[in-house]
Structure formats: C-alpha cells, structure tokens
Amino acid sequence: MRKVASYLIPILSLIIFVVIMQGGCYYITSWSERNIIPEYVNQVESDINAERWDNAQEDLHRLDLAWKKAIPRIQYHAERDAIDGIKENIARLSGSIEAKDRGLALAELNELAEHWDNLKN
C-alpha cells in the first residue's frame, strides 16, 4: 500500500499542475459573465469611432478594471510579456483618448484585441 501511495501522490500532483498550467483557455473563455473584456473593447471602439471621448474614457476605465480582475485567472497560463503588453496598451490607449487622437487610439485598441486573442492560444 505504501509503495502504491508513494507513486500515486507524485503522479496525481503532476497531473493537477499540468491541468492548471495548460487550462488557461478554459479560464479565459468560460464564465461568460466574467469574460467581458471583448465587449468593453467593442464599446471603446464604437465610442472612439463616434468621437465620444468622455464615454470612451469611462469605458476604458471599465475595461481596465475588468482586465485587473482577469489577471489572476490567466496568470498561470499566459506569459508575463503578454500580460504586460495588454497593460501597456491600456496605458497608451488612455493617453491617446486624452489627446483625442482617433488613429492612435484605434491602433492601440486593435493591438490590445490581438493580445487578448493570442492569450487563448
């Protein structure tokens, strides 16, 4: 019995760790009420296209809060560079919205959306 337990415990531990580390796609796509980042990206994009800068700033703040809530769910699956890349995109997007630069804001927003899509892979 001890011999079986001495093999079974490490094997089960490794299986659990692999599932947690490789289960990031599940954490990103599940719990639809918590996966609101693409919705906020679309809201910010429509605000920028309509040049509603105050609404875009508010929606960007909501996007930033949603991103901060999503980080603990995906931190074991995503690379640190990807997480930092989205943080940097949000910061640059905030600056371009304050400057009311439509082209730069749309470029940063599309890069942010691309980073988010890459997290699923």
As a whole number, mean pLDDT of residues 5-16 equals 88
pLDDT tens for each residue of 40-67: 999 999 999 999 999 999 999 999 998 8
Residue with tokens 């693409």: 38
Q: Domain segments of the chain: what residues? A: 2-119
Quickly state the pLDDT bin for 30 (edges 50, 70, 90): very low
Tell me how far apart the alpha carbons of residues 56 and 90 are, in angstroms, rounded to a whole number.
12
As a whole number, mean pLDDT of residues 92-117 equals 93
Tell me how far apart the alpha carbons of residues 112 and 93 are, in angstroms, rounded to a whole number.
9
CATH class for the domain made up of 2-119? mainly alpha
Tell me how far apart the alpha carbons of residues 100 and 93 are, in angstroms, rounded to a whole number.
10
Predicted confidence at residue 17, as pLDDT, reads: 83
Quickly state the pLDDT bin for 79 (edges 50, 70, 90): confident
